[in-house]
Chain A
Amino acid sequence: MASFKPTKIPIYPKLGEKVTQDTVYWKNYKAPVQIKEFGAVTNIHFSPVAPHNYAVTAFTRIHIYGPFSQEPVKSFTRFKDTAYCGRYRSDGQLLVAGCEDSVVRLFDVSGKVALRMFKGHTKAVHVTDFTSERYHIFTGSDDYTCRLWDIPNATELNTYQEHTDYIRCGVTSKLNRDLFITGSYDHTLKLFDARVDKSVITMDHGQPVESVLLYPSEGLVVSAGGRYVKVWDLLKGGQPLVSLKNHHKTVTSLCLSSNGQRLLSASLDRHVKVYNTTNFRVVHNFDYAASVLSLALAPDDESIIVGMTNGVLSIKHRKSPEESKEVSHQQRRRPSYRVFVKGKNYMPKQDDYLVSKPVREYLTKYDKHLKKFNISKALDSALQAGNRQRKPEVTVAVIKELDRRGTLKNALAGRDEKALSELLHFITKNMVDFRFAPVLVPAANMILDIYRSVIGQSPVVDRQLLYLQDLLQKEINYQQELLDVLGMLDTLFASSVPRKELLCSSSSRTNGLAQGETASTARPELQAT
């Protein structure tokens, strides 16, 4: 006849993080590959041409990694002091880097020795970049100046002395050969035009600027400094657009996703946050082990690379489509897999007569016991370690089922010290959960009734009972406080709800109540579904 109906495990709505399209996208990365560098990783830059190698600037070296290599493909070590800001030219052939010793070096990607050395700065150069017409270099230094250099002649073209503090970040425009933006510790961002001798637009960030980013359209610029990330509209003359304060330590690096829809910011608070660029809400968050100094996304978001203060370079690769699918239904292949698969993948032909085999139902251990009315064993198997810790709802559902059958008391009785303390441990752990309390409170009452006579014989059980008492007292106090708050809120709501006159029939026949009655309505609290 009808088969045994297994115990229904209620599905509770997951609290906390909601699964959105973004979380699915940003979680779809493999476990990170960690590479130890010699010092803090200050800059990561991707080559604009395939195969998209990336240059990692750490301490006195610049390492170049291939997209999937865990060993550097190449390294530039001819720095006398800490290197800064290794950046590729747009054709991927040349690489420029600043140095603590104020010399700017230009390398051929295939060579080893610097092609050109640009001397002129008097202090460490933290910012270097190629202009979009590829023959000039722009640099920013701790001597408060930024300069333009000509590559073929290795001569200085222009010097801008407008900042009043260290220049620590800057970018050149990809669309216009003459424009570049610098950010400085004097709290300002300045947009320079190489055709004139001074800055065109000045924007006040309010904090020492650590990172600057230009949108691909170059209408907007994003700056990071202090705990703030700010967006400025260049087309409106540097008008501030948004100010974001989502980190609790200095934001060090900024990056855009490949489609330009998401903005990423890395901070010393060890988080990388992903913003939606239409509403500037945080849509995802990555946690790292140490303060993050540099951040880069590979083209098509194939990998996220993060450099940290402890010299660790963390590389996360995107999962391939097959891999991400595999995770959803993990099937472990047993050795006898081939035997089982035999004939299973046979597709019936059109005129085949199908004889269905009776489907064998699989029952969990506790259901098997429940089917045989072995109630104590059912409770024992529901209390097994795996269920108890990871899935308390299973254990609670079994206790509820036993209660429904009227046999909970029998199942709880007759336990030894170990089993009883396990049971009490589970109850104390889950009793204050509002989802489980209606089931566990009567169960706890029953346990106290059953084992009242043995109290005092086992120190383990006694300790747990005392803990239970303590827990209940705490919960009662907590409920008391909540009721207080509820009372306060009620008075607030009562005074804020507008009193509305009821429309009432003008004809005064014997219906309708006295005028001026108000309905006490309240907005609902959402029910769990």
Chain B
Amino acid sequence: MVEHGDIRVVHRGGIARYCRFLCERGIFCCCRFLLCGSGYEVKVFSTSTEECIHDLRAHTDLVTGVLLRPSNHLQAYSCSTDGTVRLWDYTDGILIKTYVIGYPIYSIYTSANHSGVLFVVTPTSDKRSEFQLVAVHLPQSGDQLVEAREFSAVLSDVSSNPAATSFGRGGEYIASAKGLQLEVYFFKKQKFFLKEDNKKGGKNTFTCLACHPKDDCIATGHEDGKIRLWRNFNHKKEYTYTTLHWHHSAVSSLCFTPEGTNLLSGGIESVLVQWRYNQESQRDFLPRLGAAITHIAVSPDGALFCTSHSDNKITIIRSSIQVSAVIQGLVKGDSVRTDLMVDPRSKALVLNGKPGHLQFYSLQRDKLLYNLDIVQQEYIHQSGLEQFEVVKAAFDAYGNWLATVEERKQKPTELELNLKLWAFDEQTQSFMLNTTISAPHEARITAMCFCHSTDSQTTVLVSVSKDGHFKAWQLAPATHTEGPSWSCDFVGAYHSLVPECCCFSADGSLLAVSFQEVVTVWSPASWELLTTLSQPPGAIRNLCFGQLTCSKYLLGTTDKNLLCCWNLLTCSLEWSTSMDVSLLLSDPFSENMAAFCCQAGCTDLFVFKPSEPRPLFSHKAVCLGKVTRAVFAPREKMLESCEETSQWLNHSQLYFVTQYMVNTQHNEATWHYSREALKNMGLCIRIFTDTFLVYKSVYRLRWLMS
């Protein structure tokens, strides 16, 4: 992220949205506000309008916990791994105080019984993978920045998971669970152990814990989906427990309502379960919340619940178990398997969203527009189940048609493929399913594109598959009983080679299909093979036609580090250069093309015109890891930059996704840079990183450490 002239890489979506749930604590205040830690900041949402009211920014690292101040409900503490606890006035968004602890903090607890004391979980000083619960006495001082140095250890060897520790009965005791062990610490007496044995090979590991606010009762969630209610634990060895079982896999969060009448639980099933305290056979369910529940919180007056989900979403639920609001960021999926696309109508970025959906994300407003249900099947929340996934999608030139491919691979031999074509409906302003073609090919579809010609009446879709064929699909005219539908127009093959990429020329008069080392050029009007081009050795990796004035050029990259440019008028090689291009794409709004080259763990960006091999712009080490997807998105307002190196960004912005598995250091470093870049929003290339993958790995790492 070295500064280069005016052009900077900015992380978008990533910081703001993805890592919100790293801290995974949403809390309520007065039923009107919802606070949640999101990356380096704490966001304050209105519970009625779903809008973000304040971003509380001061932390220099991940926010790991947010908590109301028990003595003043208009103030809140937030803790972060940068080693500080900050006190905020969240209604006005003002930082009141900063307490410097000096150690990374992973969670924070307070109780009304213990005024002036904060309980924080920090790594033990010698080993970073072991954590301890420490009481911090807050010094009374009028200064903004206060250093708190008065610690007393409460419990050693605790879990860093914020859900695994809780105060009970107004702060009389604190309970903490780790592995197969539950520890209860009575502040008046001494601490106490309850041990859960791993009997009969059951998976009894504790996952989360909640204490009843009035009663001496601790509810614990377990990996096998059971909930245990522990009682009588203030006498040694005489504790009892009852078991509740509804969840089929690990309980990820538990929460009592403030009066203690109900217990809420959630897990991967994405069902919120409400148990009546003392009448556990009576349960209420709120099913189909969309994604696995990671955290549950209840407002202090008990009128609202909120659940945070693994797909970057917070659901606000009334106490009558009805959803009242949904706060949704860029939907976090498992991976981006479709290309990044721009919807020609709404100019929204389109990529995989919820499982089986495509999400439309407005880049201008930085907001999720909607999710389009592609698979149209009930999603079964169960780990280890093969689901249908949207793997390919393509828009036609005007956004009238959308083609999607979904696949499910249950066994290596059985591949279920569906090609669906969606027509844009003016009335509902969304896409309606027009044609479903089951098993369009015998093997995986590797590429798909619409003919982008502007004048032709009939649009053509070409799909290229590993089964050695490419197929052209055409819209058949409507009969009097049914509307127009798509059918196969042509099946092409070349010497039983396996095709990889396909590309239409800008005017739609030529189709280039690469068959391993050979590029074949076809005429879509007559489906004649016009010519073949090849540059052995090396199979073609990317294929791209030039745009506008450079439309006579066809560019291809091979996996033997070669970038070739053919002139289609002479059918000869115009120029070639040796570079390991991982991704090549053309800007539809100008002649420019972008090539990402992967070198030594970093990716370099080159921008050039096909007419000359000299790059207009090059940027070494744009990001770490390999760039997997990229797209040029049009600008709302054209820029009037005359500087040669930045002219290529006048019409469009370049978005890309990287996919890399890195260690924490790298990740944190990236963040720092991006923060600086954000402050300096001049002219920028905007980047999506596949950060959720990274963040997930961070999270795992922390778990491993704990």
Residues of A within 8 A of B (CB): 1-5, 7-8, 10, 19-21, 370-371, 401, 403-406, 438, 502-505, 507, 509-513, 517, 519-529
Given contacts A512-B534, A524-B491, contact A505 B437 (CB under 8 A): no
Report the stretch among B228-236, B296-304, B478-486 that lies at the interface: B478-486
Q: Does B187 contact A (CB under 8 A)?
A: no
| 8 A-B contact pairs sorted by A residue (CB < 8 Å) | A1-B286, A5-B373, A513-B518, A520-B495, A521-B490, A521-B493, A523-B490, A525-B488
Known pairs A1-B289, A524-B471, A524-B488; A510 contacts B573 (CB<8 A): yes
Given A403-B410, A524-B491, A529-B436, 16 extra CB contacts under 8 A:
A1-B287, A19-B481, A20-B480, A370-B378, A406-B385, A406-B386, A503-B531, A505-B571, A512-B531, A512-B534, A520-B494, A526-B487, A526-B488, A527-B437, A528-B438, A529-B437
Contact between B290 and A2, CB atoms less than 8 A apart: yes
Judge whether A503 and B530 touch: CB under 8 Å. yes
Secondary structure class of chain A's binding surface, majority of residues? loop
B435-492: which have CB < 8 Å to A? 435-438, 440, 471, 476, 480-481, 485-492
Residues of chain A within 8 A of B701, CB atoms compared: none
Given known A519-B520, A526-B488, contact A2–B572 (CB-CB < 8 A): no
Q: Are A509 and B573 in contact (CB under 8 A)?
A: yes
B535 interface contact, C-beta 8 A: yes
- B545 in contact (CB, < 8 A): no
Q: Does B203 contact A (CB under 8 A)?
A: no
Instruction: Answer whether residue B149 sits at the interface, using C-beta atoms and an 8 A cutoff.
Output: no
What is the CA–CA distance of A359 and B265 in the complex, to the nearest angstrom? 29
Contacts from B to A (Cβ < 8 Å): 286-290, 315, 323, 373, 376-378, 380, 382, 384-386, 388, 408, 410, 414, 435-438, 440, 471, 476, 480-481, 485-496, 518, 520, 527, 529-535, 566, 570-573
List of A residues within 8 angstroms of B385 by Cβ: 405-406
A507 touches B488 (CB 8 A): no
In the complex, A524→B437 CA distance in Å?
15
A517 vs B518: C-alpha distance when bound (angstroms): 12
Inter-chain contacts of A513 with B (CB < 8 A): 518, 532, 534
Contact A527–B488 (Cβ < 8 Å): yes
Q: Which residues of A contact B491 (CB under 8 A)?
A: 521-525
Q: Which of A370, A403, A438, A511 contacts B573 (CB 8 A)?
A: A511
- Asked whether A512 lies within 8 Å of B571 as measured between CB atoms, the reply is yes
Q: Are B486 and A529 in contact (CB under 8 A)?
A: yes
Q: Which one of B286, B386, B440, B495 contacts A527 once the chains associate, using CB atoms below 8 Å?
A: B440
Min CB–CB distance B374 → chain A (angstroms): 12
Given contacts A504-B571, A527-B487, contact A406 B382 (CB under 8 A): yes
For residue A523, which residues in chain B have a CB less than 8 angstroms away from its CB? 490-491
Task: Give Cα distance in the complex from A517 to B529, angstroms.
Answer: 10
Complex contacts, B481 vs chain A, CB 8 Å: 19
Contact flag A511-B487 (CB < 8 Å), given A5-B376, A370-B378: no
Residue of B nearest to A406 (CB): B385
A-B CB proximity, top 5 nearest: A505-B571, A519-B529, A524-B491, A527-B488, A5-B378
B702 to chain A, nearest CB (A): 30
Most chain A beta-carbon neighbours within 10 Å: one of B385, B488, B496, B566: B488
In the bound complex, how far is the Cα of B286 from the Cα of A8, in angstroms?
Answer: 24
In Å, the complex CA distance between A20 and B481 comes to: 8
B492 closest partner in A (C-beta)? A521
Taking the closest CB of chain B, its distance from the CB of A483, in whole angstroms, is 16
Nearest CB in chain B: distance from A378 CB, A:
12
Whether B288 contacts A4 by the Cβ 8 Å rule is yes
Given A5-B378, A405-B385, A520-B495, decide whether A505 and B488 contact each other with a Cβ distance below 8 A: no
Tell me whether A511 and B572 are in contact (CB under 8 A). yes
Q: Which residues of B contact A10 (CB under 8 A)?
A: 436, 438
Residue of A nearest to B490 (CB): A524
Q: How far is the CB of B320 from chain A (nearest CB, A)?
A: 14
- Assembly CA distance A1 to B318 (angstroms): 12
Q: Within the complex, which residue of A8, A438, A525 is in contact with B377, where a contact is CB–CB below 8 Å?
A: A8
Instruction: Determine the distance from Cα of A7 to Cα of B487 in the docked complex, in whole angstroms.
Output: 25
Are A505's CB and B572's CB within 8 A?
Answer: yes
Say whether A404 contacts B408, CB under 8 Å: yes
Could you tell me if B377 and A5 are in contact, using CB atoms closer than 8 angstroms? yes
Q: Which residues of B have CB within 8 Å of A520? A: 493-496
Report chain A residues within 8 Å CB of B440: 527
Q: Name the A residues within 8 Å of B377 (CB-CB).
A: 5, 7-8, 401, 404
Please, how many angstroms separate the alpha-carbon atoms of A192 and B534 in the complex? 79
- Asked whether, in the complex, the Cβ of B529 is within 8 Å of the Cβ of A521, the reply is yes
Instruction: Looking at the assembled complex, report how far the CB atom of B704 sits from the nearest CB atom of chain A, in whole angstroms.
Output: 30
B471 contacts A502, CB within 8 Å?
A: no
A526–B471 Cα distance when bound, in Å, is 11
B380 partner residues in chain A, CB cutoff 8 A: 404-405
Out of B485, B490, B566, which one reaches A511, CB within 8 Å?
B566
- Chain A contacts for B527, CB-based, 8 A: 521
Closest chain A residue to B271 by CB distance? A1
A19 to B532, CA, bound (A): 45
Does B378 contact A502, Cβ atoms closer than 8 Å?
A: no
Collect the chain A residues with CB atoms within 8 Å of residue B530's CB.
503
The interface residues of chain A lying within 8 Å CB-to-CB of B490 are: 521, 523-524
User: Which B residues lie within 8 Å of A403 (CB)?
Assistant: 410
Identify the closest chain A residue to B411 (Cβ).
Answer: A442
Please tell me if the beta carbons of A509 and B288 are within 8 angstroms of each other in the complex: no
What B residues does A503 contact at CB under 8 A? 530-531
Q: Across the two chains, which residue of chain B brings its CB closest to A11?
A: B436
Q: Would A512 and B533 count as touching, CB distance under 8 A?
A: yes
Q: How far is the CB of B289 from chain A (nearest CB, A)?
A: 5
Contacting pair A502 B489 (CB below 8 A): no
Are A511 and B323 in touch, CB under 8 angstroms? Answer: no
- Which chain A residue has the least Cβ–Cβ distance from B576? A510
For residue B286, give the distance in angstroms from its CB to the closest CB of chain A. 7
Cα A10 to Cα B380 in complex, Å, equals 20
Check B532 against A512 for contact (C-beta < 8 Å).
yes
B108 to chain A, nearest CB (A): 31
User: Which residues from chain A contact B496 at a C-beta distance below 8 Å?
Assistant: 520
Contact A510 B288 (CB under 8 A): no
Q: Give the distance in Å from the alpha carbon of A405 to the alpha carbon of B377 in the complex.
A: 11
A404 smallest CB distance to B (angstroms): 7
CB distance from A10 to the nearest CB of B (A): 7
A28, chain B: closest CB distance, angstroms: 14
Point out which of B290, B388, B438, B566 has the most chain A C-beta atoms below 10 A from its C-beta: B438
- What residues of B have a CB within 8 angstroms of the CB of A504 in the complex? 531-532, 571
Bound complex: CA of A3 vs CA of B315, how far in Å?
A: 16
Chain B: minimal CB distance from A441 (Å) = 10
A371–B379 Cα gap in the complex (Å)?
Answer: 11
- Given the known interface contacts A512-B571, A528-B437, A529-B485, the answer about A517 and B532 at a Cβ–Cβ threshold of 8 Å is yes
Contact B535 A510 (CB under 8 A): yes
Q: B413 to chain A: closest CB distance in Å?
A: 11
